[in-house]
Structure 1
Amino acid sequence: MNTNRRDFLRRSLAAALGGAALYSALGSLRVVAAAANGRRYTFGDYKALVCIFLSGGNDSFNTVVPYSTAEYSAYLAARNGLATAGGLALAQSAVQAQNLDALALAPGLPGGPPSDGGSYGLHPSAAPLRALFTAGKMAVVANVGTLRQPTTQAQYQAGSVPLPPQLFSHDDQSICWQTARPDDANADGWGGRIADILYGANTGLAPMSISLANENRFLRAAVVSPYAMDASGVEKMSYLGDGAESWIMGDNPGGAAAYRALIAEGTQAHILERAYAQAAGAAIDNYEIVSAALDAAPPLATVFPETDLGAQLQMVARLIGVRGALGMSRQVFYVSVGDYDTHDGQIDTHADNLAQLAQALVAFQAAMDELSVANQVTTFTASDFGRSLAVNGDGTDHGWGGHHFVLGGAVRGRRFYGRMPSLLADANPDDTGHGQIIPTTSVDQYAATLASWFGVGASDIADIFPNLHRFDAANLRFLG
């Protein structure tokens, strides 16, 4: 194992500080300099961020639903027309049975009952999350979305303020959410930018950023290479091609020795060869480190649901369980689940999606309790965008703002944060004019709050989120 790889990367980055591409990707040379300095931060504790990306655009207006009379009437009209049957509206009694009984506002602190004075509950399929909310381990952050600056209906319709590019496009808005840089399509992810700042606080050589859902923009960084794993474990490297056994398994010692020689540091003449060798060497090192730690760990007692998301979060829990063996004080994880693009057949599909989400989140939180790190791990949802408030037959179109969940022992839970949007079908001041709800909380604010709790200093937060100063609150204070 080459213990100097991190120093090599740091030196390489420092030599590239003048590059315009790096400046564009990170938003500020100070971020790059901080990454090159890698050990400015030290921590005496452990923390992890776990991003759950709901790919396709979650319909949050059928996830967190009003049941109080005035708000439900507006919701019913928007989701069903003026009919009382059919459409997408959930039954008032079913929502009330899953009521989210929020705590009152505390003096000097944000967060409390829904800002519109209404009463809200969960979609019945998300019922397992109600206990977490009631226990103070979950909060709802209202109407979050990609923004370049605060935007009103009049400004949107007049085109008088800059908007995120290609609004309502899956690919573009996923990138905007995962980078918190709607002004820069080439930006690295905000999870990756956080990792670039904090990675030096870890004492081990294991990867700080781990994806259980393949490559993604959220973890892309200038220094820290994200590590992609399968939910079933670390994939073995097979340098001989499909079907060949991994050299790591010892089945081809001659081939293994030859491959080691090919990727040995300092033996490649071309820069692309060196880059490949570095990547291959890192993959081998990571395999050895992570697989050894997982193999030595006792199994978790917590039972996870046998679903895609359940399997991903179970592996995240196992990795958190071996944090000590990996030398980790800070870790960032990315998991994702799809099928949220509910243009039709939403009633059944969305119910299945929310059931999978709720069951997996409850199991994961139980695992954090089992590992005694519930206060040190914060899980949060993200998505391409919310769905439209207006319906199209038995589905919804691409929207903009949407509600999100934040979970963990550090969350100031049993509260709603941010401003709840109007649900009026007509003359809605929060509507673009086409059924999409304009966000009232920016991704920048949501992400910066998580980054601050994670240990990123104020000056570095300003560099990671250069548009944050445009919004009235840099920290939403949903984490204590």
Structure 2
Amino acid sequence: MKHNTSRAFNPTRRCLLQLGAGLAAIHAVSPVLAWADSTPKARRKTVILVQLQGGNDGLNTLIPYRQDSYYALRPTLHINKEQQLTLGDELAFHPSLQALMPSWEAGQLALLQNVGYPSPILSHFRSIEIWETASASDQYLKSGWLDPVLPHMANRLPCDAIVLGGALGPLNGTRGRVLALDGNLDQFLKRQHVFNMQYGQQSSGEQQAIVRLQQQVNQGVAWLNKLHDSEQPVKTTFPRYPFGTQASNVARLMGMGAELPVYKLALGSFDTHRGQANTHAQLLKVFAESMSALRIALIDSGHWDNTLVMTFSEFGRRPKENGSGGTDHGTGAPVFVMGGKVKGGVYGDTFDLSQLTDNDNMTYGLDFHSLYQSVVSEVWQLDYALPGKPAPLPFKLLTA
């Protein structure tokens, strides 16, 4: 359900198809909205996807501090040992991730090392497309990996997912019921007429599609407004970054009762080809402080145990710094997985930086397709295989 301004609009066929790409019609709902008794009997976990746009530098995020090659490859960009936040015998956090240490110490943060995919592609556009569709490198899929999964959720709420940052991405398609909530939550809820379309020369089928889109959005807005009427204030103070507002809105919406299968946030840009040190430090600080506040808020509201936060990014960065004080496109990078029932720890092997490939890159260790399959089969407990039928991860993401 992507909202638009209230001005009349006469969509072309192409425009209509673009609108429909992320918007599937809600199944018939009577004028008396049918969500009064909408909580599924088997409550599934809410997955909060956080896109780190641009390609996050994994080596300065999760630092292999005992490897001399790390410091040799990054004579100016390495993080000094006295600044690092030690996590164990081999790895340390960037100091800007200080706010995540309570999650780590509570055993509620899993760090998946060097996540990637076979035959990696280092183009932003194509690589994020692969991550968003769960395709192979030589395969082109039209819909996001979550689009065919959402109908299996048996979600009785009038919406399956809310996008608070970035594009629809993993939610793009025609089967899920997705609301893209741009900007301020309160301003969005005040909108009374989201669509006011004129049909122009469209066929009757296209006109019906427009009507379904309008009904879908209006139903979603009405549902959220109904929840908003009884909203209890979130006590947690969130950092005053745009990304902090995204996280705050998740806490508000879940506290209101919008316990949806998926939320999506986005932070960037991590495309640090030049002047990386300060930019990367600030982005990691924004991420850590916002996620820490979200954790506290969801603990307070009783939702943290039923929540899983998972990051994704199109690729990592090269181990060797470039001549502009930055790093170029690389391969694998760490994935953060957080939640009240997450089995905390470090997973996957630490890459030996003395064994780079011929093009000075790392080789990936964990396949993100398996991570997605674990979310589907273990976290959501669905009997559904993603494209290519990947095996789940060789370890559990959740505690028993």
TM range (shorter): 0.7 to 0.9
Q: What's the secondary structure of 1:51's corresponding residue?
A: strand
Q: TM-score when scaled to structure 2?
A: 0.84
Query: Using the alignment, how far apart are the partners of 1:316 and 1:305 within structure 2?
Result: 14
**Aligned partners of 1:145 and 1:443 also within 8 Å:** yes
Give the match for residue 74 of structure 1. Answer: 69
Query: Using the alignment, how far apart are the partners of 1:128 and 1:204 within structure 2?
Result: 34
Give the match for residue 225 of structure 1. Answer: 177
Query: Using the alignment, how far apart are the partners of 1:43 and 1:146 within structure 2?
Result: 36
Q: What's the secondary structure of 1:141's corresponding residue?
A: strand
**Aligned partners of 2:56 and 2:270 also within 8 Å:** yes
Residue 46 to residue 294, structure 1, CA distance change in 2 (3 Å)? farther
Give the match for residue 396 of structure 2. Answer: 477
Q: 1:468 aligns with which of 377, 386, 390?
A: 390
Could you tell me how far 1:215 is from its partner in structure 2?
2.9
* 1:172 maps onto 2:159 in alignment: no
Residue 246 to residue 216, structure 1, CA distance change in 2 (3 Å)? closer
Q: 2:103 aligns with which of 107, 117, 132?
A: 132
**Aligned partners of 2:74 and 2:321 also within 8 Å:** yes
**Aligned partners of 1:448 and 1:465 also within 8 Å:** no
Give the match for residue 165 of structure 2. Answer: 213
Give the match for residue 50 of structure 2. Answer: 52
Give the match for residue 92 of structure 1. Answer: 81
Q: 2:370 aligns with which of 431, 445, 466?
A: 445
**Aligned partners of 1:234 and 1:291 also within 8 Å:** no
Could you tell me how far 1:214 is from its partner in structure 2?
4.4
Task: After superposing the two structures, state which structure 1 stretch, 444-453 or 402-411, moved more.
Answer: 444-453
Could you tell me how far 1:475 is from its partner in structure 2?
4.7
Q: Which has the higher helix share?
A: 1
* 1:410 maps onto 2:341 in alignment: yes
Could you tell me how far 1:292 is from its partner in structure 2?
2.5
Residue 418 to residue 246, structure 1, CA distance change in 2 (3 Å)? closer
Query: Using the alignment, how far apart are the partners of 1:445 and 1:57 within structure 2?
Result: 20
**Aligned partners of 1:57 and 1:340 also within 8 Å:** yes
Q: What's the secondary structure of 1:378's corresponding residue?
A: strand
**Aligned partners of 2:332 and 2:362 also within 8 Å:** yes
Which amino acid in the other structure matches residue 188 of structure 1? S
Give the match for residue 369 of structure 1. Answer: 299
Which amino acid in the other structure matches residue 177 of structure 1? W
Q: Could you report, residue by residue, the CA deviation over 1:7-35 in whole angstroms, capped at 9, with x for unpaired residues? A: 469xxxxxxxxxxxxxxxxxxxxxxxxxx
Backbone CA RMSD of aligned residues: 2.4
Unaligned runs of 5+ residues in structure 1 are: 10-41, 81-86, 102-117, 148-162, 238-244, 250-255
Which structure 2 residues correspond to residues 16-55 of structure 1 after superposition, within 5 A?
43-55=41-53
Residue 43 to residue 442, structure 1, CA distance change in 2 (3 Å)? farther
Query: Using the alignment, how far apart are the partners of 2:313 and 2:185 within structure 1?
Result: 25
Which amino acid in the other structure matches residue 321 of structure 1? G
Q: 1:350 aligns with which of 255, 270, 280?
A: 280
Aligned residues: 361
Task: After superposing the two structures, state which structure 1 stretch, 220-229 or 54-63, moved more.
Answer: 220-229
Query: Using the alignment, how far apart are the partners of 1:339 and 1:7 within structure 2?
Result: 37
Could you tell me how far 1:234 is from its partner in structure 2?
6.0
Could you tell me how far 1:185 is from its partner in structure 2?
2.1
* 1:457 maps onto 2:382 in alignment: yes
Identity of aligned residues (%): 26
Query: Using the alignment, how far apart are the partners of 1:299 and 1:273 within structure 2?
Result: 41
* 1:63 maps onto 2:16 in alignment: no
Q: What's the secondary structure of 1:336's corresponding residue?
A: strand
Unaligned runs of 5+ residues in structure 2 are: 1-24, 30-39
Q: Could you report, residue by residue, the CA deviation over 1:76-108 in whole angstroms, capped at 9, with x for unpaired residues? A: 11212xxxxxx211101211xx1114xxxxxxx
**Aligned partners of 2:182 and 2:188 also within 8 Å:** no
**Aligned partners of 2:53 and 2:266 also within 8 Å:** yes
